[in-house]
Every structure is written in structure tokens, then in C-alpha cells.
Chain A
């Protein structure tokens, strides 16, 4: 193992990590807002990938151009999911935690079924996009362009989200609702509207990630499952509710995964991530940046 291979894999790990962060940040946002874990998060990613694929297949739209459209569509989808399902789950009079786990999990199963029904279980991919299969070399290190652009999009999305939360009225309403959902009603903020916005925003972020990922990953009904587990670990590693934590968690997860593949066979690459998660929460039960 030369220094070059180590640097090479750390660099790819960093790029992938930023994408993991982008997938996870929506989950962290929703959790921070209303203490709900979306167990259908992976399926949100899956439909974003399908949407990108079909925009390419029918309109020859490159995934990069499709990304904003997909994000917008996912925004609407996320808000609708909140209004149709989650709104009732958080209002449950008993076993609220269980109800939200299983209603979003039921949604995941339903979405997977719908995807299988309409799109068949076949693996699909986007054969020729602007960035597909291209690499760029920086100082002797080869970086795949789709992942590089994905990482840049992720950084831009994080910056945008930060700006949105801290600088806009709606962002402040979001923060206020997260602090005290009961009190904001008194100042005339519609809690449901803010939550729907939060869900829309969370879904739009994972939509962005899905669009980028469809450039270099197969699209199939179960594609979300493995990424969802990584996203939960990413969020928990960073600390539930912390958007910054998801960003940092993503980078750590990417680097750990890259390091693991240097030592262990590829089939065990997620063991490193899971192991680090356990190590972190056993030492710090609130995750790295989790409050309380």
C-alpha cells in the first residue's frame, strides 16, 4: 500500500462522504424540526433517481440539468407526504414513537412496491451523460467527475441551507418552531405549514443527491435501502437534529468507508462505518454535535 493509494482513496472517500452528507442532511433537518425519523428516506432517494432516469430517457435531459427539476418535484412530494401521513403520525395519542417509525416504514414498503409495479425490478442506468465515466486528475490523483460535481453541489446545498435557516424569515420560523412548536402558534405561525416546508426541504435535498447519484449508480426499486442505513448512521454520528453534524458525519463516514476498503474486503466496507458509529455513541451517547 503506497502513500499514493492511501491519498487516492481518502480523496474519493471525501467526495463520497460529502454526498452521504447531502443524503443525510434532509433527515437531520426533519428530525431537528419535529423529532421524527423518516424511515422512507431511502425511498425518497430512489424516486429521485428514477425521476432523473426518466427525464433522461424521455427528454434526453442530462442529470445535471434535471437536478433542479427533481429537487423541486421532491419538495412537493415531501410536503405532500407530511400532510397525508406524518401529520397524523405525530398526532397519534398512543405510542407516538412507534407510530411514526412504522407509518414511515409502511410508506417505504409502499413506495418500493409502487416502483416495482411500474418500473419492474430491473436495474437501469444512464448510459451517456456529460460527466458519466469521466475523471479528472489533480496532482496525480484521479477523481471521478460525477462524484466531484456531487461533492460541490453538496457543499453549495449546505451553504444554501445554512443561509436559508439563518437569514430568511421562513428559516427563522423553522428555527422557532423547532425550539417550541407550541409557542409559535401564539405568534401566528402555522405549525403545519412550517413542518410541511421542512419536509419539502428535506426531500428536495435528497432529491438533489438522487439526481447526482443516478449518473454513476444503478437505479432499481431497492436502491434506497442501503443508502438509508448509511444516512441514519451519518445523522446519528453527527448528532440527531444537528444539520452541521450531518455534514461532518457525512465526511467522516466517507473517509471511514474509504479507509475500510483499504484494509478489509469490499463486501465488508460498511462494517467500518457501523463500527465507528458504535464507538462514537458508546463514548458520546448524543453523537458528535448533538445537543442536550
Chain B
């Protein structure tokens, strides 16, 4: 193995540990609840985007229906808690496993689809599930579920007095998602995924089991996103189909990765840290009037960054000479 590569991976790990330590210390100085709320959301979206990135970024299967797994995580946890009194921790695990199984079951027919057919299938499946939950009375239908507050404790995963426990859980979640990505990046799976993304036919001929590696990516990705959904349900203590399974959510979890750099280790983190505070601040400072200025800023920014930095903002930090590894296609096209 290339010495520089091993060094880079080691450096990534050290940098991540350092950043996590700084993040953990921030709430000691920042007591403002509004700011803490934004930090929780930022970490949550970082975790979601990092998880989305595994299937869509590394493995190249662009999913715009990941809200499905987010919603399943939130609903499984909330339903188990309100109907059967099952603690959210078990609900979280159940939601994660259920989502992973469903992702694989859906992957079975969907992974045969190419390009836009796949993207639209993911949108449509999430949309069907959303509509079914809308009409499913036992699960609260369109009204959703109010998660009753039992007691403030880690046992019930409910905290009404302080946002800090949520913050630390979101931080752990983001770290886990990052670490899983870091770990998989240099595993057999990571190489398979990149091979499948670049050229499935060539990968197949080299002995990569394309179908299985897509399934693996889908399962890991869905599991982590569902954990995020469970967390979100506990955090806001109220869920309804639109707020946890809407198409907007699928996009919101893809955007940080897209802006930061898809298929990269740091892209989703960077994207979330820039995008989520910006979204929240524009929403509360200029969006409050309900006049859509936040949408204008947000939309303009998405266009600008995706056109100006197609590799994502993370490419600003890369020291690799740009001439290297230029695809042939591009030289022909220009």
C-alpha cells in the first residue's frame, strides 16, 4: 500500500477526532438555545448526508427518495413507543434494521434500472409510502403522531430542559456516519462501489459483484438514515408524513453532499456546516415574512455552487494537481 495514502488516512482520522473534540466543547461556550438548535440540525444533516453519500456518492446510485428511510426510522420509533411503550433505543434499532431490509427488498428490482429511471423510481417509491402513511389511521394518518413526554432521561431519550443531550447524540451520530464512511472507503466494499460508479460493465468483468455491492451500500445507507429519522422524531417530539417523509427531505439530505463534494469523505460534513446554518439563518431572518426571500437566496446559492464547483467545495482544499486523472471524455468534449 502506498505510504502517502496510509498517511492521508491517518491524518483524516486525527483531523476528525480533533474537530469532534472542538465540536463537543462548543456548547460549553455557546449557551444560546437558538444557536444550539441550529448546531443539532447541522450535525443531524451532516450524518444524514454522509449516509446518503455512501449509496449515491460512492456507489453512484443517485437516490432522491431517502426520506423514505428517514420517515421509517421516525415512525417505527414513535409507533413502538406510543403504542407499545418500547423504549426509543430499541425503536431506533428496529427502525434501522427495518429500513435496511426494505432498502434491500427495493434494491432487488430497482438496481436493474439505469440513470434517471432509477432516480425517478426512488422518488416515486418514497412518494407512495408517504401517501400510504397519509391514509393509515393507526399511524395517525395526516395528523401524525404526538410523542408524549414521559420523563427527562437518557432512558426514554427525552429532554425538555436542555438541548445538550440531543446535541451530543447528534455529534456521536455524525461521528459514527463519518467513521463508517472512513472505514468503508478503504475496504473491499469501498473499492467495489467506486468501480460500480465509474463503469459497472468493466467492474462486472473484473469480478466485482455489482448487484451485491449496490445492495450493501443501500443497506448501510438506509440503516444510518433511519437512525437519523428516529433521532429527529425524539428531537421534535412530533412527526407527520409530510415533515419526515416529504420529497424536500430527500433533497435536504442530498444537498450538503452535493455542495461539499459527493463521493468524498469530507464533502457532506463541509456542505452541512455551511448549508444548514445558512438555511436556518436565512429562514429566520429574512424568510419570516413568508415572502420567499430565503428560497431565492437558497436556490441561487445551489445554482451558483453546483455550476462553479461541480466537484464540490471540498475540492478547494485538495492539493492534488488538477491535470491528473482527467477523464478522456472531457478532453474530447471540449
Give the B-binding residues of A (Cβ under 8 A): 31, 37, 85, 88-89, 92-99, 101-103, 105-117, 120-121, 182, 221, 225, 229, 232-233, 236, 240, 265, 267-268, 270-271, 274-275, 277-278, 281-282, 285-287
Q: Chain B residues near A285 (CB, 8 Å)?
A: 112-114, 117
Contact between B302 and A113, CB atoms less than 8 A apart = no
B156 vs chain A, min Cβ distance (A): 34
Contact between B302 and A277, CB atoms less than 8 A apart = no
Q: Does B280 contact A (CB under 8 A)?
A: no
Q: Which 6 A/B pairs are nearest by Cβ-Cβ distance?
A: A113-B295, A116-B292, A110-B299, A106-B302, A109-B299, A113-B296
A262 vs chain B, min Cβ distance (A): 17
Contact between B131 and A267, CB atoms less than 8 A apart = yes
Contact between A85 and B127, CB atoms less than 8 A apart = no
Q: Chain A residues near B120 (CB, 8 Å)?
A: 232-233, 236, 277
B334 vs chain A, min Cβ distance (A): 8
Q: Chain B residues near A282 (CB, 8 Å)?
A: 109, 112
A179 vs chain B, min Cβ distance (A): 16
Knowing A96-B310, A105-B251, A232-B120 touch, does A275 contact B302 (C-beta < 8 A)?
no
Interface residues on B, range: 35 or more
B interface: dominant SS: helix
How many angstroms from the CA of A106 to the CA of B131 in the assembled complex? 25
Q: Does B293 contact A (CB under 8 A)?
A: yes
Q: Which of B135, B301, B304, B307: most chain A Cβ within 10 A? A: B307
Contact between A114 and B135, CB atoms less than 8 A apart = no
Contact between A99 and B117, CB atoms less than 8 A apart = no
How many angstroms from the CA of A274 to the CA of B68 in the assembled complex? 15
Q: Chain A residues near B332 (CB, 8 Å)?
A: 182
A interface: dominant SS: helix
Number of A-B contacts (CB under 8 A): 145
Knowing A98-B262, A267-B134 touch, does A117 contact B293 (C-beta < 8 A)?
yes
- 1/0 per position for B133-164, CB-CB distance to A under 8 A? 01100000000000000000000000000000
Q: Chain A residues near B296 (CB, 8 Å)?
A: 110, 113-114, 117
Contact between A265 and B135, CB atoms less than 8 A apart = yes
- 1/0 per position for B275-300, CB-CB distance to A under 8 A? 00000000000000011111111111
Contact between A277 and B124, CB atoms less than 8 A apart = yes
Contact between B298 and A109, CB atoms less than 8 A apart = yes
Q: Chain B residues near A115 (CB, 8 Å)?
A: 292
Q: Does B62 contact A (CB under 8 A)?
A: yes
Contact between B299 and A95, CB atoms less than 8 A apart = no
Knowing A101-B62, A109-B299, A121-B290 touch, does A236 contact B128 (C-beta < 8 A)?
no
- Chain A residue at smallest Cβ distance from B334: A91
- Chain A residue at smallest Cβ distance from B293: A117
Q: Chain B residues near A98 (CB, 8 Å)?
A: 62, 258, 262, 306, 310
Contact between A99 and B306, CB atoms less than 8 A apart = yes
Contact between A93 and B307, CB atoms less than 8 A apart = no
Contact between A109 and B302, CB atoms less than 8 A apart = yes
Contact between B310 and A113, CB atoms less than 8 A apart = no
Contact between A106 and B306, CB atoms less than 8 A apart = yes
Contact between B127 and A229, CB atoms less than 8 A apart = yes
Q: Chain B residues near A275 (CB, 8 Å)?
A: 128
Query: Which of A96, A103, A120 sits near B291, CB closer than 8 Å?
Result: A120
Q: Chain A residues near B87 (CB, 8 Å)?
A: none
Q: Chain A residues near B125 (CB, 8 Å)?
A: 274, 278
Q: Does B19 contact A (CB under 8 A)?
A: no
Contact between B121 and A278, CB atoms less than 8 A apart = yes
How many angstroms from the CA of A168 to the CA of B116 in the assembled complex? 30
Q: Does B208 contact A (CB under 8 A)?
A: no
Contact between A108 and B299, CB atoms less than 8 A apart = yes
- Chain B residue at smallest Cβ distance from A272: B128
Q: Does B311 contact A (CB under 8 A)?
A: yes
Contact between A278 and B310, CB atoms less than 8 A apart = no
Contact between B112 and A105, CB atoms less than 8 A apart = no
How many angstroms from the CA of A285 to the CA of B291 in the assembled complex? 42
Q: Does B79 contact A (CB under 8 A)?
A: no
How many angstroms from the CA of A114 to the CA of B303 in the assembled complex? 15
Contact between B258 and A102, CB atoms less than 8 A apart = yes
How many angstroms from the CA of A101 to the CA of B116 in the assembled complex? 10
How many angstroms from the CA of A287 to the CA of B294 in the assembled complex? 38
Contact between A102 and B113, CB atoms less than 8 A apart = no
Q: Chain A residues near B117 (CB, 8 Å)?
A: 236, 240, 281, 285-287
- Chain A residue at smallest Cβ distance from B307: A88
A178 vs chain B, min Cβ distance (A): 16
Query: Which of A37, A112, A121, A265 sits near B116, CB closer than 8 Å?
Result: A37
Q: Does B123 contact A (CB under 8 A)?
A: yes
Residues of B176-222 whose CB lies within 8 A of A: none
Q: Chain B residues near A277 (CB, 8 Å)?
A: 120-121, 124
How many angstroms from the CA of A170 to the CA of B299 in the assembled complex? 34
Knowing A95-B311, A114-B292 touch, does A281 contact B303 (C-beta < 8 A)?
no
Q: Chain B residues near A108 (CB, 8 Å)?
A: 299
Knowing A99-B306, A108-B299, A233-B120 touch, does A117 contact B114 (C-beta < 8 A)?
no
Q: Chain A residues near B113 (CB, 8 Å)?
A: 281, 285
Query: Which of A110, A116, A233 sits near B303, CB closer than 8 Å?
Result: A110
